A and B are shown apart, each in its own frame.
Chain A
Amino acid sequence: MAGKTLFDKVWDAHVVDTVPNGPQVLYIDKHLIHEVTSPQAFSELEERGIPVARPDQIVATADHNTPTVDQHLPVRDLLSRNQLKQLTENCEKHGITLYGLGHKYNGIVHVMAPELGITQPGMTMVCGDSHTSTHGAFGTIAFGIGTSQVAQVFASQCLLLTKPKSLRVNVNGKLKPNVLPKDVILYVISQIGTNAGTGYFCEYAGNVFEEMSMEGRMTVCNMSIEMGARGGMIAPDQTTFDYVKGREFAPESAEWEQKLEYWKTLPTDADAVFDKEYSFDAADIEPMVTYGTNPGMGIKVTGRIPDKDDVNLEKALAYMNFKKGESLIDKPINYVFIGSCTNSRIEDFRIAANYVKGKQKAANVNAWLVPGSQQVAKQLVEEGLDKVFTEAGFALRQPGCSACLAMNDDKIPEGEYCVSTSNRNFEGRQGQGARTILASPLMAAATAVAGKITDITKQLN
């Protein structure tokens, strides 16, 4: 019999029951919730008189619909305020831990859970948010669910699921200077497309991922859903263990030793077989930018927009106001957003700060920096990065999802381009008529300084 994959090992350890010729009942270790996708699930339970089964395995935060300025004041938008109030009431009523607005642990759900040690290898984790795939960086089965499923986990701490197929993406070799984890995943998606992973759970393997920091691995796993995969995982190793150890909710002493022993058994067996596999050479990857309206529409910053007859391409370019065959270099850009669950961790801000230090933001650019959590915000100050940014003319805001999905007031105006470190460049994603160009924190910082898209491969090293 062929060996097991990392995914198989974690999945099999959580199967409670199997419906004959049907789905399996999968046990969920941690359930993360936020204000937008949970209220209807709480209502569902209440209408049916069902209690929350395991409130101590749920952690709540407010992130999607929160302001990123003046968080100490009442939220101005009435609907947003009501949504936050409902989350607070629901958590109080059911005994669920909430890191609400202003709490020292508040932050984007996929930033705060890993940094608190809530996310651990070998777990199953869910959240009503498709970027829950982020936590797969720890060797965790983590995926986004709909609100009906949020209610199911509330009611039973389990989900009914059909085991997905397995996919492995291998990237080996040496990355060029200034190629960041964001570029790696944007490159992979540009090569295999936005639905190559649909129906699959992905594992990222190869020395490129092994050599990445946990922050980098989270950026990669975060975007698994952008190629259609419900989740993406990276085998836990010493980098993972070192990151988790000593965090607020990480296991300690004997429990740590016991879990560590188990975590070390999780990596995919050498003889495991995947349903689908892709391999890439790290040397082929360059800093990336997107030109269209899905994350698969990406090119090297030095490249040109494809010139081919394709109605989808034409529709996307009409929205973006770009032409087939053109280069994006020197395109004027008035908005830059560094933030989101993809790239709002301390490492992302260190990279951006390192670039802007001693430089000035271009006069035409509005540069919004939104840390992923209160802890990241605090660390920015401790490391003096806040000064670097403010001296360069960047606006440092308070934590939240912000302009990634523009549910709050952080909207990019109609027709404007935004070079964004977020994960989706869909039509209207950052505001009605806004045009998103996805890129790494380094590309975003360089754009803010130049006021236009620049070829950073020529600038550095």
Chain B
Amino acid sequence: MEKFRKITDTAVPLPIENIDTDQIIPARFLKSTDKQGFGDNVFRDWRYDHEGNKNPDFVLNDPTYSGSILVAGDNFGCGSSREHAAWAIAGYGFKVVISSFFADIFKGNALNNGILPIQVTPEYLKDLLQTIKEKPETKLTVDLENQILSSPAGELEFEIDPYKKVCMINGYDDIDFLISKKDKIEAFERERSF
């Protein structure tokens, strides 16, 4: 996993609520057996029409907006457990997703792929979306070490599980940690009473 410390970049606004994993990556693109290439089909059915032509109204096709930070509506990532959704977001080049609420499984999948989900208040989200819409060149700074998100909408301290923060900063994943617990796991298996 790539290390994550601090990012300063422009953002892409996607003010739609309940963006589910089927919108992030439709099931028909889940036939691959590796993690590559999902970014090409992120938000596929909003980005392209049936014939594969770009939908000019969709934000990813609007050259006005770009950057590695996605700012999305409430309850982002609801639905399926498919990690392909996180691979698609990361594959497109997003490193941070800001929303007022994240679905559980997506949030975990994002963190396991070096994508930082930042939860903000609905008011902050509204102001931020408005700011980006009016000034697409607005830069946001995400400082993971100090857990600070800075934007013209204000400075905000965001929360992250302390263990996950260490993992993100150092590029660790859970596998090494779990394997280091081998003795305890085997003791548990021997001693469990049921």
Residues of B within 8 A of A433 (CB): 50
A432 touches B33 (CB 8 A): no
User: Is A107's CB within 8 Å of the partner chain B?
Assistant: no
A228 touches B104 (CB 8 A): yes
Residues of B within 8 A of A129 (CB): 80-81
Question: Which stretch in B3-11, B13-21, B62-70 binds the other chain?
Answer: B13-21
Closest to B1 in A: A148
A427 touches B17 (CB 8 A): no
**Quick one: given A122-B194, A428-B45, A432-B50, are A156 and B175 in contact (CB under 8 Å)?**
yes
When the two chains form the complex, which single residue of B34, B105, B181 contacts A144, counting CB atoms closer than 8 Å? Answer: B105
A17 touches B181 (CB 8 A): yes
Could you tell me which residues of chain B, from 76 to 125, have a CB within 8 Å of some CB in chain A? 78-84, 86, 101-105, 108-109, 112-113
User: Is B156's CB within 8 Å of the partner chain A?
Assistant: no
B175 touches A40 (CB 8 A): no
A13 to B97, CA, bound (A): 35
When the two chains form the complex, which single residue of B30, B103, B192 contacts A407, counting CB atoms closer than 8 Å? Answer: B30
When the two chains form the complex, which single residue of A37, A130, A155 contacts B175, counting CB atoms closer than 8 Å? Answer: A155
User: Is A80's CB within 8 Å of the partner chain B?
Assistant: yes
When the two chains form the complex, which single residue of B18, B179, B181 contacts A50, counting CB atoms closer than 8 Å? Answer: B179
Question: Which stretch in B128-136, B147-155, B182-190 binds the other chain?
Answer: B182-190
User: Is B174's CB within 8 Å of the partner chain A?
Assistant: yes
B26 touches A230 (CB 8 A): no
A64 to B82, CA, bound (A): 12
A230 touches B177 (CB 8 A): no
User: Is A253's CB within 8 Å of the partner chain B?
Assistant: no
User: Is B75's CB within 8 Å of the partner chain A?
Assistant: yes
A424 touches B175 (CB 8 A): no
**Quick one: given A82-B33, A195-B75, A428-B26, are A17 and B174 in contact (CB under 8 Å)?**
no
Residues of A within 8 A of B138 (CB): none
When the two chains form the complex, which single residue of B34, B45, B194 contacts A43, counting CB atoms closer than 8 Å? Answer: B34
User: Is A166's CB within 8 Å of the partner chain B?
Assistant: no
Interface size class of B (residues with CB under 8 A): 35 or more
Residues of A within 8 A of B104 (CB): 164, 198-199, 228, 230
A195 touches B103 (CB 8 A): yes
A160 to B22, CA, bound (A): 26
User: Is A290's CB within 8 Å of the partner chain B?
Assistant: no
When the two chains form the complex, which single residue of A36, A151, A427 contacts B23, counting CB atoms closer than 8 Å? Answer: A427
A428 to B79, CA, bound (A): 13
CB distance from A273 to the nearest CB of B (A): 22
Residues of B within 8 A of A146 (CB): 81-83, 86, 105, 108-109, 112
CB distance from B162 to the nearest CB of A (A): 6
A406 touches B27 (CB 8 A): yes
Total A-B pairs, Cβ < 8 A:
177
User: Is A68's CB within 8 Å of the partner chain B?
Assistant: no
CB distance from B102 to the nearest CB of A (A): 8
B20 touches A294 (CB 8 A): yes
Residues of B within 8 A of A429 (CB): 22, 27
**Quick one: given A27-B185, A122-B194, are A294 and B175 in contact (CB under 8 Å)?**
no
B22 touches A427 (CB 8 A): yes
**Quick one: given A39-B33, A228-B104, are A27 and B188 in contact (CB under 8 Å)?**
yes
When the two chains form the complex, which single residue of A27, A37, A40, A414 contacts B81, counting CB atoms closer than 8 Å? Answer: A37
Closest to B50 in A: A432
A4 to B175, CA, bound (A): 31
B79 touches A426 (CB 8 A): yes
CB distance from B87 to the nearest CB of A (A): 8
A158 touches B181 (CB 8 A): yes
A157 to B79, CA, bound (A): 25
B28 touches A407 (CB 8 A): yes
A86 to B34, CA, bound (A): 11
User: Is A354's CB within 8 Å of the partner chain B?
Assistant: no
Could you tell me which residues of chain B, from 14 to 66, have a CB within 8 Å of some CB in chain A? 16-18, 20, 22-23, 26-28, 30-35, 45, 50
When the two chains form the complex, which single residue of A83, A132, A407 contacts B33, counting CB atoms closer than 8 Å? Answer: A83
A25 touches B185 (CB 8 A): yes
A195 touches B101 (CB 8 A): yes
B16 touches A315 (CB 8 A): yes
Residues of A within 8 A of B101 (CB): 195, 198
A428 to B28, CA, bound (A): 10
When the two chains form the complex, which single residue of A13, A144, A157, A432 contacts B185, counting CB atoms closer than 8 Å? Answer: A157
CB distance from B31 to the nearest CB of A (A): 4
**Quick one: given A21-B162, A156-B182, are A144 and B81 in contact (CB under 8 Å)?**
yes
Residues of B within 8 A of A27 (CB): 185, 188-189, 192
A315 to B113, CA, bound (A): 31
When the two chains form the complex, which single residue of B28, B31, B45, B163 contacts A83, counting CB atoms closer than 8 Å? Answer: B31
A165 to B16, CA, bound (A): 27
B22 touches A428 (CB 8 A): yes
User: Is B173's CB within 8 Å of the partner chain A?
Assistant: yes
CB distance from A67 to the nearest CB of B (A): 13
Residues of B within 8 A of A228 (CB): 75, 78, 103-104
B174 touches A160 (CB 8 A): yes
Closest to B80 in A: A130
Residues of A within 8 A of B32 (CB): 79
A148 touches B112 (CB 8 A): yes
User: Is A327's CB within 8 Å of the partner chain B?
Assistant: no
CB distance from B55 to the nearest CB of A (A): 13
A155 touches B31 (CB 8 A): no
A-B contact pairs, 24 of them (CB 8 A): A17-B181, A25-B185, A36-B30, A43-B33, A43-B34, A48-B175, A65-B31, A77-B31, A79-B32, A130-B105, A146-B86, A146-B105, A147-B84, A147-B109, A149-B112, A194-B18, A195-B75, A195-B78, A230-B104, A262-B194, A315-B16, A426-B23, A432-B26, A432-B45
- List the 8 closest pairs (A to B, CB-CB), nearest first: A144-B81, A79-B31, A156-B178, A148-B112, A39-B33, A146-B109, A22-B163, A146-B83
